[in-house]
Chain A
Amino acid sequence: MRTAINVSSIAVLGYFVAMQLHMLALAILSARAIYKQRMFERFGRVQDMLGSDLSPPVSIVVPAYNESAGIVESIRSIAMVTYPKFEIIVVNDGSKDDTLEKMIEHFKMLALPMPFRPSIKTADVRQVYHAKLPVSITLVDKANGGRADAVNAGINVARYPYVMLTDADVLIDGDALVNSMRYVAEDRTRTVGVGGNVRPLNGCTIRHGHIVDAKLPGGWWERIQILEYIRSFVGARPGWSAINSLIFLSGAFGVYLKQAVVDVGGLTSGHMGEDLDLSMRIHRHYRRLKKPYRMVYAPSAVAWTEVPSTRKVLRRQRIRWHRGLLRAMWDFRSSLFNPRHGTVGMLGWPAMFLFEFLAPIIEFLGYLVVPVSLLFGGINPYPALLLLVIAFLAGAFTSLLALFLDERFGYFNKPLEALTLLSLVFLENMGLRQQTVWWRIRAIFGGITTKQWGDMQRKGVANLGGKTAHPVKPVQRRT
């Protein structure tokens, strides 16, 4: 028994070191990718795309459920995106509030018997409306079926060969679309997906649907998430993208080849990790067909989304995310260590399994067995402590590296903000991490004990800086 505990303790400590080293390696890969991307952005004449035949038109699909307060502001913000040719498709997913009426009234939309091909099966479409403005806006009114179903309905109506999937509570930087579509223009035959850089909106100053000042929010839960987002979107994803192992594109900003999404049957309704599921199905589809393809990450395509501001909402979100991951792990178990799935099967998906799926279990185990082992003298305290310190420092170093890379975006330059972020690098390991582990452990066993995980309370884009309000909406995004 004692031997088993001791072996477990050493394995757990070794696992921590491996996890931090993997993140460090990713951060180094990301640094290279971001440097190349930055050079391209400054000197690659990306803006020339705006007048070029190389720019394929894009349909922007925005599912909306009870988004009455923020929908007009959000669509106006999207309509101001700089790109040669695009259309906006808003899908009202059976909202119980006046989302539909607000859209019709504000954009002076007309009901049209618009014919379209339902390539993906969805809940009943009640009506299609259209507004003739400088940007084509189509509004699809359908019966409630969830976010995935709404996105699928939008894809059915989309006219253009590329679809950008986003949400009604996301603000998109003006050049985000051109910065993501340049990857498509570079290699149109292989590029099937481009993910954007999602950043927390909390604390930012918004004017006319645009971020005018990015500031750190007041709450510690929100601040910690900013560090997490930076580590994920700046410190890891560019690295995964560089080795063509990007496992998923965020639901807040993802551009896909429409045909690829249709070929895999669209988004899966009711899946808690629908973005991960979609990306993995696209990977599997192309691997099976043995067609060359790539899914890439565009760090300079920035989208802003609201993150949970309270512990309670954050808990719900993390539990949902981990349950989505569990289902995806089961669904795509055949991809794990599968050489036929290339770098995704041998690197990306195994890393997801080892350092996302197993992490809470091993970490939880570690909190139990290492103290016991130390208590009974099974392991030498000095090397154990040393390993712990190494794991802690490697983690802090990785976070610092991600913050360095984030300097390229020029946010949070005030002295106090810099110091706050710096303190978070060290503080996040003293409580939040353990809290997250516990939530994820709950998610694993939640399938048995919990059926309903509740919704996320959002302030809404229109209300940020004002009173907390209204829309209640299920959120199934992951960092």
Chain B
Amino acid sequence: MTVVLAASTVIAALALVSIKMAHRIILNSRGVRTAHYLAAVAEMIGRRYIPTEIPKGWRTDTAFHDILIDYRRLVEGEDGRFIDRMIEEFGIVDALIPRIRWIFPQTSRLRAVSTLVELADRSAAPFLRSLLDDRNDYVRTHAAHGLARIHDLTAVPLILDLSTRVRPWEAARLTDSLVAFGVDAVPLITEWASDEMDSPRPSVEAVTQSARVLGFIGDNAAEPVLLRLLSSPNLEWRIAAASALGRVGTDEARTALLNALADNAWEVRARAVRAMAALADETVGPAVVALLGDTEWWVRQNAAETLGEIPGGVALLLDALDSPDKFAADSALNQLAEMRKLPPGRLPVLSRERPHEAPIVLPELVETRPFS
């Protein structure tokens, strides 16, 4: 046993030194190759020249892929289209697909997937759609983002269906990808969300995420389904819908949000009052002021922040300073102070020598329930 352990220790020590040295050499070599590729690709773009043949190793070199990805992200318009042509003529995608079909080594495969997602054109859509059924969650998530990048709308329902079967983290990442589809995806998402809500066992997480995406995209076509979610008994859906409706911004959304300010759940009230800021409508001011004295800290805080952002809100905050409701006065005071809009007479001048002119800890607040 001693001999084995001693041999293992010596081997481990030698291996450690070798690995450290190898890392150093690999990093240096990669740096040199990267500089070389950077110059070569820049020259090709500048001269609008695509060589008929490139050195054999380039197509599969991850350093070359990274340079192409960086250029593709930075450059738009005609130059961007030229890079797309370069990628096609070099056959980068064709070189990546066989690599992805091999399961091992996993790291190399995942790297190929993430490169494909960045460089693929529409011709790779069927292959990317097939990756949505892959066993590896990273592959599935990247495939969804790749499909979004090439704007393959047929993948939208597939991605949403997939999000019902996976863990919350993956569901969130999958639905994140839908934002990139933009308004074109809104009818597909709303139709899917309605069907899912009507199903006997709807996926709460996936529907919540779809509402979040609709809010990010902010298209009026999403309003009916969001209004339906806001009136549902499911708390998570109501919270997501309240946030999203602020960006939809029609009259019906405004009315629904005003009603949501009286929701029993403080989470919905907090989201609804914050969504009011996005409406930028001064007529909602009095309804928001009423929430400055809410029993929940988050609702009061959000109401004060909203008043700070809507037209005429600062005047309402100044009025609230004299409110008989201590909670409302404090929330207004905090917000105005943070915005540096407190009238000179209201800001206590304190120093280390003269510490307390006003009590900092309000006994009333001690009694309130801590937020969760």
How many whole Å from A64's CB to the nearest CB in chain B?
A: 15
Does B19 contact A404, Cβ atoms closer than 8 Å? yes
- With A and B bound together, what is the CA distance between A48 and B360 in angstroms? 39
Does B23 contact A413, Cβ atoms closer than 8 Å? yes
Does A117 contact B368, Cβ atoms closer than 8 Å? yes
Known: A118-B366, A422-B13. A259 touches B372 (CB 8 A): yes
Does B23 contact A117, Cβ atoms closer than 8 Å? no
Complex: chain B residue closest to A395, CB-CB = B9
- With A and B bound together, what is the CA distance between A44 and B138 in angstroms? 6
How many whole Å from A141's CB to the nearest CB in chain B?
A: 7
- With A and B bound together, what is the CA distance between A110 and B336 in angstroms? 12
- With A and B bound together, what is the CA distance between A115 and B364 in angstroms? 10
Does A115 contact B110, Cβ atoms closer than 8 Å? no
Stretch at the interface among A127-135, A268-276, A318-326, A330-338: A127-135
Does B9 contact A126, Cβ atoms closer than 8 Å? no
A211 at the interface (CB under 8 A from B): no
Does B5 contact A390, Cβ atoms closer than 8 Å? yes
How many whole Å from A56's CB to the nearest CB in chain B?
A: 12
Would you give the 0/1 interface string for B345-363, flagging 1 where the beta carbon is closer than 8 Å to chain A? 0011111100110111110
Contacts of B350 in A (CB 8 A): 111, 127
- With A and B bound together, what is the CA distance between A159 and B305 in angstroms? 14
Does A100 contact B352, Cβ atoms closer than 8 Å? yes
Known: A45-B141, A126-B356, A128-B360. A397 touches B12 (CB 8 A): yes
Contacts of A407 in B (CB 8 A): 16, 19-20, 23
Would you give the 0/1 interface string for B122-158, flagging 1 where the beta carbon is closer than 8 Å to chain A? 0000000000000000100110010000000000000
Stretch at the interface among B78-86, B169-177, B221-229: B169-177
Contacts of A425 in B (CB 8 A): 13
Would you give the 0/1 interface string for A88-105, flagging 1 where the beta carbon is closer than 8 Å to chain B? 000000000000100000
Residues in B51-97 with C-beta less than 8 Å from chain A: none
Known: A53-B212, A259-B372. A422 touches B17 (CB 8 A): yes
Contacts of B340 in A (CB 8 A): 110, 132
Does A186 contact B365, Cβ atoms closer than 8 Å? no
Does A125 contact B20, Cβ atoms closer than 8 Å? no
How big is chain B's contact interface, by range?
35 or more
B165 at the interface (CB under 8 A from A): no
A403 at the interface (CB under 8 A from B): yes
Contacts of B24 in A (CB 8 A): 413-415
A224 at the interface (CB under 8 A from B): no
Contacts of A400 in B (CB 8 A): 9, 12-13, 16
Contacts of B290 in A (CB 8 A): none
Does A127 contact B338, Cβ atoms closer than 8 Å? no
A394 at the interface (CB under 8 A from B): yes
Residues in B315-340 with C-beta less than 8 Å from chain A: 330, 333-334, 337-340
Contacts of B102 in A (CB 8 A): none
A52 at the interface (CB under 8 A from B): yes
Does B107 contact A45, Cβ atoms closer than 8 Å? no
Residues in A256-273 with C-beta less than 8 Å from chain B: 259, 262
- With A and B bound together, what is the CA distance between A325 and B267 in angstroms? 41
Would you give the 0/1 interface string for A373-417, flagging 1 where the beta carbon is closer than 8 Å to chain B? 000000000000010011001101100110110010010111100
Contacts of B351 in A (CB 8 A): 111
Does B107 contact A39, Cβ atoms closer than 8 Å? yes
Does A389 contact B9, Cβ atoms closer than 8 Å? no
How many whole Å from A394's CB to the nearest CB in chain B?
A: 6
Known: A43-B142, A141-B352, A161-B372. A112 touches B334 (CB 8 A): yes
Does A118 contact B176, Cβ atoms closer than 8 Å? no
- With A and B bound together, what is the CA distance between A51 and B173 in angstroms? 11
Does A394 contact B5, Cβ atoms closer than 8 Å? yes
A54 at the interface (CB under 8 A from B): yes
Does B212 contact A113, Cβ atoms closer than 8 Å? no
B163 at the interface (CB under 8 A from A): no
- With A and B bound together, what is the CA distance between A393 and B145 in angstroms? 49
- With A and B bound together, what is the CA distance between A285 and B172 in angstroms? 31
Known: A43-B114, A115-B365. A186 touches B169 (CB 8 A): yes
Does B107 contact A114, Cβ atoms closer than 8 Å? no
How many whole Å from B295's CB to the nearest CB in chain A?
A: 13
- With A and B bound together, what is the CA distance between A162 and B167 in angstroms? 22
Complex: chain A residue closest to B212, CB-CB = A53
Contacts of B6 in A (CB 8 A): 389, 393
Known: A117-B365, A400-B16, A419-B17. A185 touches B169 (CB 8 A): yes
| Contact pick for B21, options A39, A126, A418, CB 8 Å | A418
Complex: chain B residue closest to A393, CB-CB = B5
Does A130 contact B337, Cβ atoms closer than 8 Å? yes
Q: What are 27 A-B pairs with beta-carbon distances under 8 A?
A: A43-B114, A43-B142, A45-B142, A45-B145, A45-B176, A48-B173, A48-B176, A54-B172, A110-B347, A111-B350, A113-B333, A113-B359, A116-B360, A127-B360, A136-B338, A159-B301, A389-B5, A397-B12, A400-B9, A400-B12, A404-B15, A407-B20, A407-B23, A413-B20, A413-B24, A415-B21, A419-B17
**Which 4 pairs, one residue from A and one from B, show the smallest C-beta to C-beta distance?**
A43-B138, A111-B350, A418-B20, A400-B12
> Interface of A with B (CB < 8 Å)?
39, 42-45, 48, 51-54, 100, 110-119, 125-128, 130, 132, 136, 141, 159, 161, 185-187, 259, 262, 386, 389-390, 393-394, 396-397, 400-401, 403-404, 407, 410, 412-415, 418-419, 422, 425
> Interface of B with A (CB < 8 Å)?
1-2, 5-6, 8-9, 12-13, 15-17, 19-21, 23-24, 27, 106-107, 110-111, 113-114, 138, 141-142, 145, 167-169, 172-173, 176, 212, 243, 297, 301, 330, 333-334, 337-340, 347-352, 355-356, 358-362, 365-366, 368, 370-372
